[in-house]
Amino acid sequence: LIGYQTAFLKANYPSEYMAAVLSNNMNDIKQVSFFMEECKRMGITVLGPDINESYYKFNVNDDKAIRFGMGAVKGVGKGAVETIVENRKEDKYDDIFDFAKRIDLRLANKKTFENLVLAGGLDSFKLNRSQYFNLDNEGLSYIEKAIKFGSKYQESVNSSQINLFGEDGDDMSINPVIPECDEWINLEKLKKEREVVGIYISAHPLDDFIRELNNFTSTGLTTLNDLNKLVNKDFYVGGIINEVEHLVSKTGNGFAVFSFEDFNDQYKFRIFGEEYLKYKHLLEENKILRLRLTVREGWINKDTGRVGEPRIQFLNVELMDGIIDSNSKKITLRFDSSAVVNDDIKKLKSTLSKFKGSSPVYFDIHDSKNEFKLNMISEDTKVNISKELLISLEEDEFLYKLN
């Protein structure tokens, strides 16, 4: 009966069902990440936290998108969320100063403000996250100014000072000037977001490398959870280094331990000996890499004769950037002949003509109605395989495979 009810809810109220599942797993960020991927598969949008829409747990907004729960943000307690939700019942917050004026600042401190900003909770105010941390001539950040402003406002209201002027004569009906400063690069913004939430929400550092991952890696990091199935296999994985430690063993030899993450999982690698010496220059935080690995049987214990756990061997480590240029030998375009019209052919010819080069173009043509299939090479068209070409093909919804 429970299974039937669950299936009914998932089928008829998918957003509400997944919001409840995410809320039940809110304290296990790995499970949150897993179920966010499930939401993506189901076509459900999961948005970051927002002080005007989020609650303590995950919830569904008016557009049937799931909002991240503010309770999943580090340093944001139940008391802070309660005062945020309570004081927006009449009207949404207009900006950080309106926010600071209306909530109970005894329940939401500077860290609460900072972590909500870093998690994207104030993005709806259309300021760059970096602006909130920009320091003025007095060494105060925009967040600190807002808290000071809100505190003075509340003091003046509580003491019935109707003119809303602070003791120092500042006009509290006017918000401080918004600071002008450079926006953080995307990787820095996402890294800070991950620090306060545990996962990337608004985007992923690997988004720009989805083509490399789809075409030039053979498996994901999740498969490494069972190394026994990978013994004597050679494979590629891709991801980003989140943390790395360069260490020295008792015998004086260098080695590294690094946390590596893809879209679905993360894995802690250890690299020693000649492999470490060969690749240590690439083992830096935020480096996006492709690893060629193999798994060997574990060492045999001389005393007991037992075989140890399988071990990973590094065959190659390289930057993901440039993989398309260095590894693409040909491109295969896939068509369903029953769905292709003349305009599609013209569009494809036009696109390919803009990227002339030396790589052959293959066609994988099939007819889903008559189960017909044909593979052929273009005799007169060769291209320069680049990200720009692939983006153009994707924009026109042409399917391709690189080899």
- What are the pLDDT digits (tens) for 71-89? 999 999 999 999 999 999 9
Residue 183: pLDDT above 80? Answer: yes
Tell me how many degrees the CA angle 39-83-121 measures, rounded to the nearest 5.
40
Residue 179: pLDDT above 80? Answer: yes
- Structure confidence at residue 163 (pLDDT): 53
Q: What is the rounded end-to-end Cα distance, in angstroms, of the chain? A: 49
The domain segmentation of the chain, as residue ranges, is 2-197, 207-322, 328-402
pLDDT tens string 206-233? 999 999 999 999 999 999 999 999 999 9
Is residue 371 within 8 A of residue 340, CB to CB? The reply is no
In the chain, DSSP finds a helix count (H) and a strand count (E) of: 13, 12
Residue 62 is given by DSSP the state T
Is residue 199 within 8 A of residue 32, CB to CB? The reply is yes
* 3-class secondary structure per residue, the chain: CHHHHHHHHHHHCHHHHHHHHHHHCCCCHHHHHHHHHHHHHHCCCEECCCCCCCCCCCEECCCCCEECCHHHCCCCCHHHHHHHHHCCCCCCCCCHHHHHHHCCCCCCCHHHHHHHHHCCCCHHHCCCHHHHHCECCCCCEHHHHHHHHHHHHHHHHHCCCCCCECCCCCECCCCCCCCCCCCCCHHHHHHHHHHHHCCCCCCCCCHHHHHHHHHHCCCCHHHHHCHHHHECCEEEEEEEEEEEEEEECCCCCEEEEEEEECCCCEEEEEECHHHHHHHHHHCCCCCEEEEEEEEECCCECCCCCCECCCEEEEEEEEECCCHHHHHCCCEEEEEECCCCCHHHHHHHHHHHHCCEEEEEEEEEEEECCCCEEEEEEEEEEEECCCHHHHHHHHHCCCEEEEC
pLDDT tens string 298-338? 988 888 888 889 999 999 999 999 999 999 999 999 988 87
Hey, what are 402's tokens?
Answer: 């690189």
Q: Which of 37-41, 156-160, 354-358 is least confident?
A: 156-160
pLDDT band at 161 (very low <50, low <70, confident <90, very high): low
Is residue 80 within 8 A of residue 107, CB to CB? The reply is yes
CATH 2.60.260.20 fits 207-322, yes or no: no
Quick check: helix, strand or coil at residue 380? Answer: strand
Is residue 373 within 8 A of residue 365, CB to CB? The reply is yes
Sign of CA dihedral 313, 216, 229, 267: positive
With a threshold of 0.85, does the pTM exceed it? no
Residue type, 98: D
- Comparing 126 with 172, which gets the higher pLDDT? 126
pLDDT tens string 86-136? 999 999 999 999 999 999 999 999 999 999 999 999 999 999 999 999 999
